[in-house]
Amino acid sequence: MAQQPAKTKDHPSVKAMESQRDERKKANEEAMKRMESSQPTPTQEENDLAKLGVAVEEKQADGTGPTVITKNVTANEPLGAHGYDTRSSRAKE
């Protein structure tokens, strides 16, 4: 059985692996920054008050910012069953 030549750093598969490693490292760093700036919701104080039966009207912000929900609608194209955009409704082209 013949040996395959060793792959160098210029080989496409090695470059792809390094690219994936860099992307994963960047994503992990962004996730760590998000975790450092957020806090659990509900907070322990809110849990303690709820245990005592106190209704907490004003809740502390968890630091994540506003939730943004986007929806893409295309004119004259049905969204599929029950108004949900599914793979099967997009595949009918």
Q: Each residue's pLDDT tens digit in the chain (93 positions)?
A: 567 777 777 888 888 889 999 999 999 998 888 888 777 778 888 889 889 998 878 777 777 777 777 776 666 666 666 666 556 655 555
**Residue 3 domain flag:** no
> What stretches of the chain adopt beta strand conformation (E)?
none
The answer to pTM > 0.75 is no
Residue 2 lies in a domain: no
Query: What is the count of structural domains for the chain?
Result: 1
Going by C-alpha positions, the residue among 70, 69, 71, 88 that lies closest to residue 80 is: 88
- Supply the range of the domain harboring residue 41: 12-90
Residue 4 is assigned to a structural domain of this protein: no
Token pair for residue 2? 């013949």
